[in-house]
Amino acid sequence: YRLVANSDVLIHSIRTSAAQKIGLSYEALRKHNERLVYCHVKGYSDAGAYAGQPAFDDTMQAESGLAMLQTVIGGEPRYIPSSIVDKICAMQAAYAVMLALFHRERTGEGQEVEMPMFESITAFNLTEHLWGEVFQPPKGPMGYESVRKGVRKPYPTKDGHLAFLPYSDVHWHKFFRLVGRPELVEDARYSTFPARMKNYDAVFGFVQDTLKERTTAEWVALFGDQDIPMAAVNELEDLLEHPHLKSVGFWNTMEHPTEGTLRMASNPIKLMRSPASIRKLAPRLGEHTREVLREFEFRGDEVDSLLASGVAKEWSREGAQ
């Protein structure tokens, strides 16, 4: 509790019943620090029917409809090939903590922050996919229409794929002229957004057939200065040499004392007054135990006692080997 007494934020993802058993509930900790921001990341809200159930990225993709949405492409439910729920919920937790800290700055009050994964990823997913069910009675089925139909995907080119998204009439008219079909600018089926939506299959069938005629690089070069939204579909390995990422110094290589040379991404957020930088590398497990305990005014003999009893752990090169 000495750690809690002088901390601004505590964040954990231990299920509520287990946290209560080990004295890690908000009720127990606030007695030692009324200004504490206590963030509890959990699978489901404790107020609901599924309270206390385990939750992982895959189960949350399944619960929230994300896995089922992949059916339109894969023919069966599939997980998105990224730990997307874990990362989104981590960002939600960071936002929630900042809001609670702002509230404390204004009022002096700490508080408990509940961050349920299921509710968070469902709200995220249904931002667009609630669709017709936004209105009561419903005006249509759920699911953003182009995604539900399986037509929102990159187009094949002669040697790869291209993300191609001409949205405005200006984009489309430029596209028709660039591919040698200027007459389509005046064609009633293609000239306006309502017309293109009415003739969706014909319009996007034309796009698909046309983009197969050249390589991805040729299309990128042709569209590059025309302000038409598009991008090459990269392999993961392409990102290591991506010209834009290289031009902004996105990748860093640093020497870790035990792990060797490491490549890592720089912080993409640019703060003009307080720019972010990588000042320390990922620590070894227990590397800063003594430093942290001293910061909380534990005496040297107390630190030694905690380490000797196994309550705290300290990294050592011999132990790591």
Considering the chain, tell me which residue range(s) the CATH 3.40.50.10540 domain(s) occupy.
2-129
Give the integer Cα–Cα distance in Å for 54 and 13. 10
Considering the chain, tell me which residue range(s) the CATH 3.30.1540.10 domain(s) occupy.
154-232
CATH of domain 154-232: 3.30.1540.10
Average pLDDT over residues 23-49: 97
CA dihedral 130, 54, 90, 76 (to 10 degrees): -50
Average pLDDT over residues 11-38: 97
Average pLDDT over residues 228-248: 96
| H helix or E strand, kind and range, residue 198 | helix 193-198
pLDDT at res. 317? 67
Tell me: pLDDT of 321 over 60. Answer: no
Tell me: pLDDT of 274 over 60. Answer: yes
| H helix or E strand, kind and range, residue 262 | strand 260-265
Tell me: pLDDT of 177 over 70. Answer: yes
Cα 18 to Cα 23, 25, 30, 53, distances in angstroms: 9, 9, 18, 12
Average pLDDT over residues 71-84: 93
Give the integer Cα–Cα distance in Å for 311 and 319. 17
pTM assigned to the model = 0.88
Structure tokens at 132: 């017709």
pLDDT level of residue 318 (50, 70, 90 thresholds): low
Helices 57-64 and 84-107 cross at an angle (nearest 10°) of 90
What is the architecture, at CATH level 2, of domain 2-129? 3-Layer(aba) Sandwich (3.40)
Tell me: pLDDT of 319 over 60. Answer: no
pLDDT level of residue 149 (50, 70, 90 thresholds): confident
Scanning the structure block, which residue is given the tokens 């306006």?
192
What order do you get walking across the sheet with 155-156 strand by strand?
155-156, 161-164, 230-232
Cα 60 to Cα 70, 83, 85, 277, distances in angstroms: 14, 10, 7, 33
- Strand pairing class (9-12; 37-42): parallel
Give the integer Cα–Cα distance in Å for 80 and 69. 10
pLDDT at res. 83? 96
Give per-residue pLDDT as tens, 187-231. Answer: 999 999 999 989 988 999 999 999 999 999 999 999 989 999 999
Residue among 222, 221, 215, 220 at smallest CA distance from 179: 222
pLDDT at res. 197? 87
Cα-based angle 233, 153, 56 (whole degrees, multiple of 5)? 90
